Amino acid sequence: MATQLRVPRVVITPHLMGHTVGPVGDRARQREVGDAALDLLTTAREPETVFALD
Amino acid sequence: MTDRSEQPSMTFEEFRRSFYYGSRTDLRFKFLASLPDDAAADAVARILRTVGQACDTGDWDAVQDAVIAEQDAAYGPADPVEATVADAPFAPVRQPLPELPLALITAGGVFRRGDDPLGPDGPSQQEVLGREHVKRALSGPPSLSEISVDTPPAELTARHPGYDATSAHRDPNAVFPLDVLREVAETGGVSLASTHYGFVGATAQGRLRDRVAPEWAQRLLEAKVGAALLVAT
């Protein structure tokens, strides 16, 4: 869906619905997702850049 | 004890559909309603199998992984989005992040306690799971809640008819990582805008694209926001 919406940059996370940034209380994972998003913000060079986080 | 022979029988189709705004509404498992009977039965069986194994092994992460896998398979990439998008605008970042005030925007229905977008007697998360509330959310215009950058997590709550927002009640960072961004800001990695935002993403997507989002973008520009991080649910 993220690619159909043609957003400029997107980080895709493999979490439960409603836990996009990470599981409840898992600050380390939430930080990892946040860092990935900020990194993509500065490193993407073209629209529709997709980064899938494991 | 209830005499089960007196209860009306339920088909498996009725059972799986009852998770989707029915008698067993559970937004983690509403995907069962969209599957054919065989696929839904297999999904339930796979999840139950991991639950059974976890009872012995204590590996509850495997249960979570199983639910994620079933959600992922059910929603899949094949479903077309409601609002088509003609282009993909792109603004390259040409300045260091600390020079661009960043605004966090969540579609997860997060708002400050005491600032309920539906008024002081707004419904609870459980109450918005009724079909009427869902219909109202999809037909009415969305509102953008403002959340000051220094808002403590305990002052945040969430309500959303499309996912189980009780997770966000326990930890707003799951869909609104303001604490996380504050951590990054403390070490100079990013500069945060003074205001951040929440809205309910379950809304008419065409109206959001054509009318509402441009208005909100203008608000962000007027607030001197330099970059935005949007969290979907």
Residue pLDDT, tens place only, B49-89: 999 999 999 999 999 999 989 998 888 765 666 667 778 88
Domain boundary (B42, B75, B108) is at B75
Percent of chain A past pLDDT 70, that is, above it, reads 96
Predicted confidence (pLDDT) at residue B2 exceeds the cutoff of 70: no
Residue of A nearest to B82 (CA): A5
Whether residue A1 lies inside any domain: the answer is: no
- Structural domains counted in chain B: 2
In this structure, the answer to whether residues B68 and B106 fall within a common structural domain is no
Would you state the pLDDT for residue B131?
77
How far is A12 from chain B, CA to nearest CA, in Å? 10
Domain that residue A23 falls in: 9-52
In this structure, the answer to whether residues B122 and B202 fall within a common structural domain is yes
Amino acid (1-letter code) at residue B225? V
Nearest by CB: A21 against B91, B175, B189: B175
Nearest by CB: A48 against B79, B88, B184: B88
Whether residue B47 lies inside any domain: the answer is: yes
- Structural domains counted in chain A: 1
Q: How many CB pairs under 8 A join A and B?
A: 112
In this structure, the answer to whether residues B69 and B163 fall within a common structural domain is no
Residue pLDDT, tens place only, B191-208: 999 999 999 998 888 888
Which residues have C-beta within 8 Å of that of residue A52, sequence separation ≥ 6?
A11, A12, A14
Predicted ipTM of the assembly: 0.95
Residues of A whose CB is below 8 A from B190: 38
Residue pLDDT, tens place only, B23-56: 898 988 999 999 999 999 999 999 999 999 999 9
Q: Is A20 close to B231, i.e. CB distance below 8 A? A: yes
In this structure, the answer to whether residues B111 and B224 fall within a common structural domain is yes
In a 13 Å sphere around the CA of B6, the CA atoms on its Cβ side amount to: 3
Q: Is B231 close to A5, i.e. CB distance below 8 A? A: no
In this structure, the answer to whether residues B107 and B71 fall within a common structural domain is no
What's the mean pLDDT when you consider all of chain B?
Answer: 90
Nearest by CB: B177 against A5, A15, A21: A21
Q: Is A14 close to B85, i.e. CB distance below 8 A? A: no
- The larger pLDDT score, comparing residue A39 to residue B128, is at A39
What's the mean pLDDT when you consider all of chain A?
Answer: 92
In this structure, the answer to whether residues B166 and B111 fall within a common structural domain is yes
In this structure, the answer to whether residues B102 and B51 fall within a common structural domain is no
Whether residue A23 lies inside any domain: the answer is: yes
Per-residue 3-state assignment (H helix, E strand, C coil) for chain B:
CCCHHHCCCCCHHHHHHCCCCCCCCCCCCHHHHHCCHHHHHHHHHHHHHHHHHHHHHCCHHHHHHHHHHHHHHHHCCCCCCCCCCCCCCCCCCCCCHHHCCEEEEECECEEECCCCCCCCCCCCCCHHHCHHHHHHHHHCCCCCEEEECCCCHHHEEECCCCCCCHHHHHCHHHCCCHHHHHHHHHCCCCCECCEEEECECCCCHHHHHHHHHHHHHHHHHHCCCCEEEEECC
How far is A3 from chain B, CA to nearest CA, in Å? 9
Domain that residue B64 falls in: 9-75
Residue of A nearest to B28 (CA): A17
Whether residue B80 lies inside any domain: the answer is: no
